[in-house]
Copies of this chain bind each other. A is one copy, B any other.
Amino acid sequence: MTFETVSTAKAYGGTQGVYRHDSTATGTPMTVSVYVPPHKEGQRLPVVWYLSGLTCTHANVTDKGEYRRACAELGLIFVAPDTSPRGEGVADDPAYDMGQGAGFYVDATQAPWAPHFGMWSYVTEELPALVATHFPADMDRQSIMGHSMGGHGALTIGLTLPERFRAISAFAPIVAPSQVPWGEKALGGYLGDDRASWRRHDAVALIEDGARVPAMLVDQGDADQFLEEQLKPHLLATACEAAGIDLTLRMQPGYDHSYYFISTFMADHLAWHAERLR
């Protein structure tokens, strides 16, 4: 399989790269951003996965996430995939919350999405194998984080694969897609009308159905325009409390849904991950 370097640049003593490869999971080329911090020859480093939100590519967090300084100090590889397959021949929706840029980290089963929208398999199987092959990664030490739709991805993937991910955190995640407009549209479109099939892709439902992790960290701005209608972090708090999961939910006064918010708390999250990846 081809794994092509689009660009690399030195940053904080390490290497910020952008790579492109043909994906079996999506049947398209996919682009991914990987930061490798300064390290000793032969050293293997823990891997933090960052899943992005609606409309984003790999580039948004790469440009605006301000993660490199902390990753360099803490010795973390940072992997930021795209949010969907893209290109001609890939199904799309006129709205921003479905189709290209909005894969919701599921394997779609419904037309017209099923042929390319295999983002669950891409992020949990195909891309990890490529990261293990092409970077100095210690795949026994992985963690996962994300923003908004990518927070949903981080929570659902982390809850499903607790043996793989030692830490899970999120910025302004969609915690219960089955209960909010973004999620009802996307899960209905990608997975069909049978709401039972949605539960594997809903963090609150996963916890209600028995998924367990030791701890999670979530930051949420209280000036976030999507807070009330789409995000509803109290649903996660309630589920975690009932399940005995140690959720740290921090309501951050005055912060919105943007990368200004994410970048402010990025170093905090990475330090929290690094503690659990030691």
Contact = CB atoms under 8 A, between A and B. Distances in A.
A159 B261 CA distance: 37
Contacts of A64: 63-64
A111 interface: no
Interface string A9-23: 111110010000000
Contact of A12 (B13, B69, B264): B264
Interface string A209-223: 000000000000101
B66 A63 contact: no
A94 interface: no
Interface stretch (A123-131, A226-234, A252-260): A252-260
B260 A16 contact: yes
Given A9-B258, A12-B263, A68-B260, 8 more contacts: A9-B255, A9-B256, A10-B255, A10-B256, A11-B260, A12-B264, A16-B260, A66-B69
> Most B CB atoms within 10 A — which of A68, A254, A261, A264?
A264
Contacts of A68: 260, 263-264
24 contacts: A9-B256, A9-B260, A9-B261, A10-B221, A10-B223, A10-B254, A10-B255, A10-B260, A10-B261, A11-B260, A11-B263, A12-B263, A12-B264, A13-B264, A16-B260, A63-B64, A63-B259, A64-B64, A66-B66, A66-B69, A66-B263, A68-B263, A68-B264, A69-B267
Contacts of A16: 260
A11 B255 CA distance: 7
Main secondary structure of the interface of A (DSSP, over half): mixed
A255 B8 CA distance: 11
Question: How many copies of this chain sit in the oligomeric assembly?
Answer: 2
A60 to B, nearest CB: 9
Interface string A230-244: 000000000000000
A227 to B, nearest CB: 14
Interface in A29-85: 63-64, 66, 68-69
Sorted nearest first, the 3 A-B pairs with minimum C-beta distance are: A11-B260, A9-B260, A10-B254
A214 B11 CA distance: 30
A11 B267 CA distance: 13
A260 B17 CA distance: 11
A264 to B, nearest CB: 5
A67 to B, nearest CB: 10
B264 A11 contact: yes
A64 B69 CA distance: 13
